[in-house]
A and B are shown apart, each in its own frame.
Chain A
Amino acid sequence: MNLHEYQGKELLKKFGVAIQEGILATNVEEAEEAYKTLTGGAGGNVVVKAQIHAGGRGKGGGIKLSKSLEEASENASAILGMMLKTPQTPGGMEGPGKLVRKVLIAQDSYVPTFESCKEYYISILTDRESKRNVIIYSTEGGMNIEEVAEKTPHLVQKEFIDPTLGLQAFQLRKIAFNLNLTGDAFKGMTRFLFSLYTAFVKSDASLFEINPCLKTGDNRILAVDCKVTIDDNSLFRQKEIEAWRDLDEEDPIEVEAKNFGLNFVNLDGNVGCMVNGAGLAMATMDIIKLSGGEPANFLDVGGTADAERVEKAFRIILKDPKVKAILINIFGGIVRCDRVANGIVQAYQNIGDIEIPIIVRLQGTNAELAKEIIDKSGLEVQSAILLKEAAELVQKAIIV
């Protein structure tokens, strides 16, 4: 689960991590109020930052330095309601962009002058190879870290954390030294990292990315931006964070599927699929591609592919007008194929006319019986038992 920048900062602040302060606004009046509160009526700079789940917001005009109340008001007005395109929104800079519903009015942290400040990169994640949490850091802040790692790998360093002992003082010092910090900034960085790591573990995060992490001209260390991802598996014990879920940021069809207990990812192709099991679902998408089609979705109906779930899955796939055929691929193990077949027939009848070809491949327990049920149903459904046969049927369906 991804958090907005403003939510991520609220979380960090709770654990004592210094952040660029800000106030959330959903309309221009709130933005103006926020400006006044942040500047204490004395005037000065703020930054208006679009709150959407995508990086690269500055590139699309979603982050604007504002030097007066008027400018802040104008920028908030322009950003709120805009369709913000960034390299990370669907379709990238060529895509439709994402609607901005909220802006964060943030302090200008680059004080006393922009030139006196220095940006760093800090992230924490769980490294799959070592099975440990790792702090990744670099003196090259504010840049795309993947590019930095590619061009200048020696400038990206890693510090692995012992799972039983946690982050040690020498590690904090090592990172601060490697970032060439001294004096108050050195101390500030060790405190910053300690709080940040505590926040990471206690909130069951899978990613913290602080880019940039700023050293101000007066030697304070703070998070100017943050990308926070929380481990979905942990939400049962992270109720406060779970309540922050912003459904506006998610694909409405995926949200609907989730409510039905279906694991669904919307894609751009022309062949829908319904499969039990994530690995087989991915493999089925691959089959569709090899047969000349493009998968329109990933859909795992899970272990109980009963009539109700099959019908819901059908309805979700059929919402996509690009879908020209549907491949259902169920490997019946504990769940019997004949039951799934009956479910498919029932779901089909409930929905009524489905105008696109449906190919059903049922394999496993009672597969032959299931094929008979499908073939005798009188419905416009083509059945197969072997994966190869199903692939051939998909190929034919797309050509027609």
Chain B
Amino acid sequence: MSVLVSKDSRIIVQGITGKEGSFHTEQMIEYGTPVVGGVTPKKGGQKHLDRPVFNTVANAVEQAGADTSVIFVPPPFAADAIMEAADAGIKVIVCITEGIPVQDMVKVYAYLQDRDCRLVGPNCPGVITPGEAKVGIMPGFIHNPGSIGIVSRSGTLTYEAVDQVTKAGLGQSTCIGIGGDPIVGTSTKEAVELLMNDPLTTGIVMIGEIGGGMEAEAANWIKAYGTKPVVGFIAGQTAPKGRKMGHAGAIIGGKDDTAAAKMKIMEACGIHVVKSPADIGQTMKLVLN
């Protein structure tokens, strides 16, 4: 079992013929991901990387049975691409694009509310179920099929956690990169909830960062409903207030969204919080024993 993506997913790539889209589609296919096609407007009917290209997501759903989409469309057009996927009936939409205007995401989020789909991202590395499907830009080889679920707002920091979990002799059920923007489709709590309900997942690594209240929300949910051990880390313990640290969403606004405040509430909710990012893998191993 796994969550969101698996070997049975039918995945399309929006922006498959672009530079980024092409490169990462190739990597996904090489990993063994079930990519069934791609979408680039006005290039429908062509083949790219031996996959059919469609003009619209609706065509890809009708003709290739797509149920999952990964988006590599540039920022000015990405919000539109997400809504197109939702409208066509795609169930899992993974948006990799970084730099989407916040007001666009306000509209997208509202648009998705009464539609039966889940958005992961934007500005995220994607979702991977090791050995089954790599839907995003993460390096496949560091992952190992197993039972640890990973939720993170970051890219390379997630890889670091994955690598440590793998080196600790464990593997991953599904790793969900929820994204570093202020408005993302799937919150930390929602991703944790998915993994908590996944029978195969035995432990969860939850990686947050400064800014916003998603980690506190997840921590409170875990305290109330959690059934599996959670190891947590918050990046940005040394970040100054009011400065954006790379990610659009990584900015300390008040006293509640500092790393210290988040770590405190996570600890109070029974999460095994590590101070050093170097201790994530070993701590998970200890906790499981």
In angstroms, Cα B210 to Cα A57, docked, is 28
Q: Which residue of B lies closest to A129 (CB)?
A: B213
Q: Mark B188-232, 1 if CB is under 8 A from A, else 0.
A: 000000000000000000010111110000000000000000000
In angstroms, Cα B238 to Cα A294, docked, is 8
Q: Which residues of B contact A146 (CB under 8 A)?
A: 254
Interface-facing stretch out of A208-216, A280-288, A375-383: A280-288
Q: Which residues of B contact A265 (CB under 8 A)?
A: 240, 243-245
Measured CB to CB, the closest approach of chain B to A303, in angstroms, equals 8
Task: Using known A-B contacts A236-B75, A267-B240, A333-B159, determine if residue A282 contacts B233 with beta carbons closer than 8 Å.
Answer: no
Q: Which residue of A lies closest to B24 (CB)?
A: A334
In angstroms, Cα B183 to Cα A206, docked, is 12
Cβ-based interface call for A233 (8 A): yes
A-B contact count (CB 8 A): 171
B103 near A234 with CB under 8 A, answer yes
Q: Which residue of A lies closest to B257 (CB)?
A: A128
A333 near B278 with CB under 8 A, answer no
Q: Which residue of A lies closest to B237 (CB)?
A: A286
B155 near A279 with CB under 8 A, answer yes
Q: Which residue of B lies closest to A146 (CB)?
A: B254
B160 near A331 with CB under 8 A, answer yes
In angstroms, Cα B245 to Cα A118, docked, is 38
Interface-facing stretch out of A19-27, A103-111, A217-225, A386-394: A386-394
A287 near B277 with CB under 8 A, answer yes
Measured CB to CB, the closest approach of chain B to A384, in angstroms, equals 11
B106 near A133 with CB under 8 A, answer yes
Q: Which residue of B lies closest to A162 (CB)?
A: B110
In angstroms, Cα B114 to Cα A306, docked, is 45
In angstroms, Cα B250 to Cα A281, docked, is 12
Q: Which residues of A contact B265 (CB under 8 A)?
A: none
Residue in A132, A201, A283, A363 with the greatest tally of chain B CB atoms within 10 Å: A283
Q: Mark B66-102, 1 if CB is under 8 A from A, else 0.
A: 0000000001100000000000000000000001111
Q: Which residues of B contact A234 (CB under 8 A)?
A: 101-103
- Which among A269, A279, A286, A294 is the interface contact of B153 at CB below 8 angstroms? A279
Q: Which residues of B contact A388 (CB under 8 A)?
A: 278
B277 near A233 with CB under 8 A, answer no
Cβ-based interface call for A295 (8 A): yes
Q: Which residues of A contact B235 (CB under 8 A)?
A: 279-280, 282-283, 286
Cβ-based interface call for B163 (8 A): yes
Measured CB to CB, the closest approach of chain B to A161, in angstroms, equals 9
A387 near B102 with CB under 8 A, answer no
Measured CB to CB, the closest approach of chain B to A322, in angstroms, equals 15
Interface-facing stretch out of B10-18, B31-39, B46-54, B138-146: B138-146
In angstroms, Cα B244 to Cα A345, docked, is 31
Measured CB to CB, the closest approach of chain B to A370, in angstroms, equals 14
B139 near A365 with CB under 8 A, answer yes
Task: Using known A-B contacts A128-B182, A204-B101, determine if residue A364 contacts B142 with beta carbons closer than 8 Å.
Answer: yes
In angstroms, Cα B99 to Cα A237, docked, is 12
A387 near B277 with CB under 8 A, answer yes
Q: Mark A326-348, 1 if CB is under 8 A from B, else 0.
A: 00000111100000000000000
B245 near A278 with CB under 8 A, answer yes
Cβ-based interface call for B275 (8 A): yes
Cβ-based interface call for B154 (8 A): yes
Measured CB to CB, the closest approach of chain B to A298, in angstroms, equals 5
Closest 7 CB pairs of A and B: A279-B154, A278-B246, A277-B156, A333-B139, A279-B157, A282-B235, A387-B278
A interface with B by C-beta (< 8 Å): 126, 128-129, 131-133, 146, 162-164, 201, 204, 206, 231-234, 236-237, 263, 265, 267, 269, 275-283, 285-290, 294-295, 298, 300, 331-334, 363-365, 386-388, 391
- New A-B pairs, 5, CB < 8 Å, besides A163-B106, A286-B237, A331-B163: A126-B106, A126-B182, A204-B102, A285-B238, A331-B156
Some 30 contacts from A to B, beta carbons below 8 A apart, are A126-B102, A126-B183, A132-B110, A146-B254, A162-B110, A163-B106, A231-B101, A231-B103, A232-B248, A265-B243, A265-B244, A267-B238, A278-B155, A280-B157, A280-B277, A282-B235, A282-B239, A283-B157, A283-B233, A285-B237, A289-B237, A290-B275, A294-B238, A332-B139, A333-B159, A363-B160, A364-B142, A387-B276, A387-B278, A391-B276
